[in-house]
Amino acid sequence: MPLPSKIQRILLKLSGESLGENGAGVDPDVVATIADRVARVQRLGVEIAIVVGGGNLLRGAEFSKRGTNRATADHMGMLATAINTLALQDGLERAGVETRAASAIEMKTLMEPYIRRRMIRHLEKGRVVILAGGTGNPYFTTDTAAALRATELGVDAIFKATKVDGVYTADPKTDKTATKYRQLTFAEALQKDLRVMDRTAFTLCMENDMPIMVFDMFVADNLERAVRGEDIGTWVI
């Protein structure tokens, strides 16, 4: 599968930890920085949907390990994504970006329901769409939600924001010999067990020819440079 020749619509996958200081809570200054970087890309004419996790507030899997019913724990995690979505929406609107927040689980006093055709229309009108609630079902991660929504919304690629500048042969924080991949096929990533996303999400992307750009969101201008096609991060195609 060739790389996208032109990026016109993306799905940005943010971890919940990216919104807080040291990965915990929600820091308004961090949110404002992320919002500014998204706003600059939106002003290039790129249509942007965002899926954000909730791990900075609560990890359903951890609650499940300690005895909480798994479905209940996962629904708690979905509510955490809604808090992050509202924080990100506020940050983007303060940056001058028109937004719509939508949820896979009903919370009509806070945001609209996720309806695919409506989300596409928002994107076409230049609004940044922030998607809460994961897939709306327990047992699925927000990585899987990102893969599903990207496929449904017909984006050109998933841009997976991390704190590492791409995919490496090993963890570069612990292995000094780790080297960075510029480009990988889905088959290579699976064979090498590189864990770009969870296996369900990764398989969904592979089966639907959905490219993934893994990059460091926390270097100024990296998102903009990646969308422009500069040599940033790692492409999985």
SS3 content of the chain, % helix, strand, coil (to 5): 40, 20, 40
Work out whether the CA dihedral 21, 143, 60, 137 comes out positive or negative: positive
CATH superfamily of domain region 9-236: Acetylglutamate kinase-like (3.40.1160.10)
From first to last of its 237 residues, the chain has per-residue pLDDT tens of 666 668 999 999 999 999 987 778 899 999 999 999 999 999 999 999 999 999 888 777 778 788 899 999 999 999 999 999 999 999 999 999 999 999 999 999 999 999 999 999 999 999 999 999 999 999 999 999 999 999 999 999 999 998 888 999 888 888 888 899 999 999 999 888 888 888 899 999 999 999 999 999 889 899 999 999 898 999 999
- DSSP for 54-98, please give it: -TTT--HHHHHHTT--HHHHHHHHHHHHHHHHHHHHHHHHHTT--
Burial class for 78, CB neighbours closer than 10 Å (0-12, 13-18, 19+) = buried
Q: Could you identify the residue written with the tokens 């909480």?
A: 68
21 CB neighbour count, 10 Å cutoff: 11
107 CB neighbour count, 10 Å cutoff: 17
- DSSP for 210-226, please give it: --EEEEETTSTTHHHHH
> Would you state the pLDDT for residue 1?
62
> Would you state the pLDDT for residue 229?
87
| Cα distance from N-terminal residue to C-terminal residue, the chain | 6
Are residues 35 and 92 in contact, defined by beta-carbon separation less than 8 angstroms? yes
Interatomic CA distance for residues 233 and 229, integer angstroms = 10
| Measured CA angle at 68 (ends 62, 69), to 5 deg | 115
Burial class for 2, CB neighbours closer than 10 Å (0-12, 13-18, 19+) = exposed
> Would you state the pLDDT for residue 163?
84
Are residues 160 and 184 in contact, defined by beta-carbon separation less than 8 angstroms? no
